[in-house]
Amino acid sequence: MFVNKKLFTTALLGLLVTLSIIALILSLVRVEDVSLPPTVQYGMVFDAGSSHTSLFVYEWDSDKQNNTGVVSQTFSCDVQGPGITSYANDPPKAGDSLRECLEEALKVVPAAKQRDVSAYFGATAGMRLLSSAADQVLAEIAKTIQEYPVAFCGAQIITGEEEGAYGWITINYLLESFTKVGGKKHFFGALDLGGASTQISFAPKGSFINWNETSRFMLYGYNYNIYTHSYICYGQNEMWKRLAKELIVESPSSTLVEHPCYPKDYKETISLSSFRTSPCTNQSDPHLPLDDRNVTLEGRSNASGCLVAVRKLFNFSACGQSQDCSFDGIYQPPISGQFFAFSAFYYNFKFLNLTEGQSLATVRETIERFCARTWEDVCFLLWEAMGSFKSKWVGEEDTDVGWTLGYMLNLTNMIPAEAPVRVKAHTPSLWAAAIAFITLTLALGLVALVVLLWTSKQWKRQ
């Protein structure tokens, strides 16, 4: 009896040793190098327009594609208050206005990643029109952002061409023009209407002259050449000011001026001195001294008269017979392809329910009908539409359309990609087998221990 138990114990120990050796071999053989999933990188961009400022946070995987990140918007925040140009007489308030959005943005970025977040502040046409005060405003903004745990990349006024080019990148990125596999890539033109300027950007057919640095860039391993131009003083707000000044100059009355573009029964009183606040309207005119006199603009709901008045703000004769010219003598290669319009273009067309691809004839008819309405009708429509305007891309991602996404995509080319982290690992089948043998070995080890203790007690009793 005792001999049989001894043989059983020896056999059990032998099996235990065998299983241990097998588990050890399985845990060492076929070890492979495995890459861990890429980490997420973050960037934030302030878009400081002439009438408002917004903050956007973007993210992309650190491995990137052909040195360019696949970027998605993860957060946006509208800064409370007017545009930063309004702080020209009190620059510190410009920086303070950003704090709420900065604090909210940092909540969506993991604490361990915050100091690596590239933070950029870009001001557009409104600041281009500002004089010496612009530097003081930007200095206060930089001072404020540097108080937060981010990698501040600078606060500056971007050129109109940069604004246009980055807008073109945004549109074609959202339409997947850069990342489509196979077939000929199709690119869309971009039309951006801001408060102080408007931009046109597109890829013309063939070659064209007047190159500049912002019209050439590389994304996802390919070089792109586009035409882009920014028309300063042709933004929506500045055009309204220029139109008002022109109507006052041509009016026979010095105190009451008919405004064909305003709805009937609407009146607005303005001071002539307000034209001095913008370089677009502060030019001296012998027929209109810019004093402190008030003038009342009275709406007439005259669509055809409005079109005639607006046309006078464009100098089409400056191009002569040139085919490579738009207006004001500005070079522009022949238009080609389809265009996407955003910013104020979108807001206005959305208000008129014209964002579903309607024909140009339908657009003209709708605008003419709207322009014939009275101020009471317009107020009712404004009340219905209040809060519904947001220039966003509706698709798989909720993304604001503008220059900031294009800027961040281009910036990812300059942010080094992180090398993938590699570790030693087994294939799933070998790992499962090794775990099974290790578990069985531990179980048999416990059984052997129990048997040995029991055998030892029996030996002592004998």
Q: With bands split at pLDDT 50, 70 and 90, how would you rate the model's confidence at 174?
A: confident
153-to-21, 81, 123, 424 alpha-carbon distances in Å: 58, 24, 14, 38
Higher-confidence residue of 426 and 71: namely 71
In percent, the amount of the chain with pLDDT more than 70 equals 71
Catalytic residues: 163
Task: State how many domains the chain has.
Answer: 1
Residue 333 lies in a domain: no
- Give the annotated binding-site residues for ATP: 195-199
Residue 347 lies in a domain: no
289 neighbors 318 (Cβ within 8 angstroms) = no
CA–chain centroid gap for 307, Å, is 33
Residue 430 lies in a domain: no
Q: What is the mean pLDDT of residues 328-356?
A: 87
Cβ contacts of 8 within 8 Å, gap of 6 or more: 451
Q: With bands split at pLDDT 50, 70 and 90, how would you rate the model's confidence at 61?
A: confident
Higher-confidence residue of 345 and 434: namely 345
335 neighbors 189 (Cβ within 8 angstroms) = yes
Highest mean pLDDT among 59-63, 106-110, 202-206, 331-335: 106-110
Lowest mean pLDDT among 52-66, 360-374, 384-398: 384-398
Higher-confidence residue of 451 and 28: namely 451
pLDDT at 189 (0 to 100) = 93
Q: With bands split at pLDDT 50, 70 and 90, how would you rate the model's confidence at 283?
A: confident
Residue 69 lies in a domain: yes
Radius of gyration of the chain (CA): 34
Task: Say whether pLDDT at 227 is over 70.
Answer: yes
- Give the annotated binding-site residues: 195-199
In percent, the amount of the chain with pLDDT more than 90 equals 32
Highest mean pLDDT among 176-190, 260-274, 441-455: 260-274
3-class state of residue 205 by DSSP: coil
Higher-confidence residue of 50 and 272: namely 272
Distance CA 215, CA 201 (A): 9
Closest C-alpha to 119, from 105, 107, 108: 105
What CATH number is associated with residue 107? 3.30.420.40
Upper half-sphere CA count for residue 159 (Cβ side, 13 Å): 9
Task: Say whether pLDDT at 386 is over 70.
Answer: no
Q: Which domain holds residue 142?
A: 36-157+395-423
Higher-confidence residue of 180 and 365: namely 365
245-to-196, 264, 272, 312 alpha-carbon distances in Å: 16, 19, 8, 12
Output b/e per residue, 413-434; b: 16+ Cβ within 10 A: bebebeeeeeeeebeeebeebb
Residue 47 lies in a domain: yes
How many residues does the structure list for the chain? 462
Q: With bands split at pLDDT 50, 70 and 90, how would you rate the model's confidence at 129?
A: confident
Higher-confidence residue of 392 and 105: namely 105
Q: What is the mean pLDDT of residues 243-266?
A: 91
Higher-confidence residue of 196 and 182: namely 196
255 neighbors 186 (Cβ within 8 angstroms) = no
Beta strands in 182-300 (DSSP E): 189-193, 197-202, 216-219, 222-225, 227-232, 256-259, 267-271, 294-299
Q: Estimate the crossing angle of helix 2-28 against helix 428-461, to 10 degrees.
A: 160
Residue 278 lies in a domain: no
| Whole-structure pTM value | 0.77
186-to-106, 173, 328, 400 alpha-carbon distances in Å: 37, 11, 30, 22
Residue 133 lies in a domain: yes
Q: What is the mean pLDDT of residues 419-433?
A: 57
Residue 143 lies in a domain: yes
Q: What is the mean pLDDT of residues 173-190?
A: 75
Q: What is the mean pLDDT of residues 183-189?
A: 76
Higher-confidence residue of 81 and 381: namely 81
